[in-house]
């Protein structure tokens, strides 16, 4: 069979192009229904599904679901005290018509845009019959799982790195206006620490810097570190007395210093700049206050799919949709990066 181009001339492939075309064809066949079997072949009931890197964004930052559904923008108000110094309230009872100092309050607003998302999927009667004959594979379920996974992984990436191509959708690790300290951590913490005293010095530096950054108004609740460094924290904190690992001692010290028994140290693959798809240029550690008034991501409309419909009772199609925002730091001083 000859393949003709738009001018009616035969398309002739080079040897390299033929090899690429044959490879692609084999790849397509490998992902289709046509899988050769013999009379001695048994089709297993178990199907091995593709796996992805998955974490729960809500473990790392507050995520609100269902608030502001069908909006195109969400506005967050911030209230400020305007009362001058306390000492200005001291008065002399012997003075007449003294003008009293005032206490007032001010307000401003932060806006965050809401993004609309939708994707469709479809199938035909041929697809259903071919899939049925190929074993116990349910093509409709597989397509729906693929689409739902696409949503889950997209929300996950957006929560930490923002939305590609959208400057108004930032993630946890690339917020604008957040201080980045580049002097305290100059290499992996697992390399910096040789003794418990070294570890105490690192933690003291982290907390002192955080407290000063937020004007001593908050304590951090979470320390998020690159996964590559986190995996090196299982070594003993002291070669002489290997009773606890660096991670155990670090967590206990954070809990004691902050007075928070629920303080968490979490690994994050996205914080490794090599795994950030070019969003980050440095290894990034994060101290934050897990408080929706400080930091929040919104999902106004959770993933929802529609009923499948058909115009000809042969081809079927349905859609799924949702709404989401990026991460908004209402109190950027309570979020602090350490980078090297």
Q: What is the per-residue pLDDT across 110-134, written as a single tens digit (0 to 9) for each?
A: 899 999 999 999 999 988 888 777 6
**How far is it, in rounded angstroms, from Cα 187 to Cα 191?**
7
Q: Which of 9, 1, 327 is nearest to 168 (CA)?
A: 327
Q: State if pTM tops 0.85.
A: no
| pLDDT tops 50 at residue 28 | no
**Long-range contacts of the stretch 150-155 (C-beta < 8 A, 24+):** 150/119, 151/117, 151/119, 151/303, 151/320, 151/322, 152/54, 152/303, 153/52, 153/54, 154/117, 155/57, 155/299, 155/324
Q: What is the pLDDT of residue 241?
A: 52
Centre a 10 Å sphere on the Cβ of residue 337 and count the other Cβ atoms it contains. 23
**How far is it, in rounded angstroms, from Cα 41 to Cα 15?**
36
Domains of the chain: 180-298+331-339 (3.30.2320.10)
| pLDDT tops 90 at residue 331 | yes
Over pLDDT 70: what percentage of the chain? 83
pLDDT category at 245 given cuts 50, 70, 90 is confident
- Stretch among 93-107, 143-157, 205-219, 224-238 having the lowest mean pLDDT: 93-107
């Amino acid at each position: 069979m000859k393949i003709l181009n738009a001018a009616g001339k035969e398309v002739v492939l080079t040897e390299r192009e033929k090899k690429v075309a044959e490879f692609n064809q084999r790849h397509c066949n490998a992902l289709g229904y046509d899988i050769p079997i013999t009379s001695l072949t048994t089709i297993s009931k178990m199907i091995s599904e593709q796996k992805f890197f998955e974490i729960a964004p809500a473990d790392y930052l507050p995520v609100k679901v269902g608030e502001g559904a069908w909006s195109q923008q969400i506005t967050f108000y911030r209230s400020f005290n305007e009362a001058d110094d306390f000492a200005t309230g001291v008065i002399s009872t012997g003075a007449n018509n003294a003008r009293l100092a005032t206490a007032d309050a001010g307000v401003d607003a932060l806006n965050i845009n809401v993004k609309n998302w939708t994707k469709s999927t479809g199938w035909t009667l041929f697809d259903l019959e071919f899939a049925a004959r190929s074993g116990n594979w349910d093509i409709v379920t597989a397509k729906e799982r693929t689409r739902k996974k696409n949503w889950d992984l997209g929300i996950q990436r957006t929560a930490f790195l923002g939305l590609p191509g959208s400057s108004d959708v930032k993630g946890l690790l690339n917020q604008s206006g957040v201080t980045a300290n580049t002097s305290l951590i100059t290499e992996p913490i697992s390399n910096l620490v040789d003794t418990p005293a070294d570890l105490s010095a690192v933690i003291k530096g982290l907390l002192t810097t955080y407290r000063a950054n937020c004007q001593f108004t908050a304590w951090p609740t979470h320390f998020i570190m690159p996964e590559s460094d986190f995996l090196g924290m299982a070594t003993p904190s002291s070669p002489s007395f290997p009773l606890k690992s660096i991670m155990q001692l670090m967590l206990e010290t954070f809990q004691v210093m902050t007075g928070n028994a629920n303080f968490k140290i979490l690994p994050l693959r996205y914080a490794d700049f090599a795994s950030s798809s070019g969003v980050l240029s440095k290894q990034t550690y994060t101290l934050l206050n897990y408080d929706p008034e400080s930091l929040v991501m919104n999902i106004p409309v959770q993933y929802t799919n529609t009923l499948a419909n058909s115009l000809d009772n042969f081809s079927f199609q349905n859609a799924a949709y949702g709404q989401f925002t990026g991460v908004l730091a209402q109190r950027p001083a309570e979020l602090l990066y350490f980078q090297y």
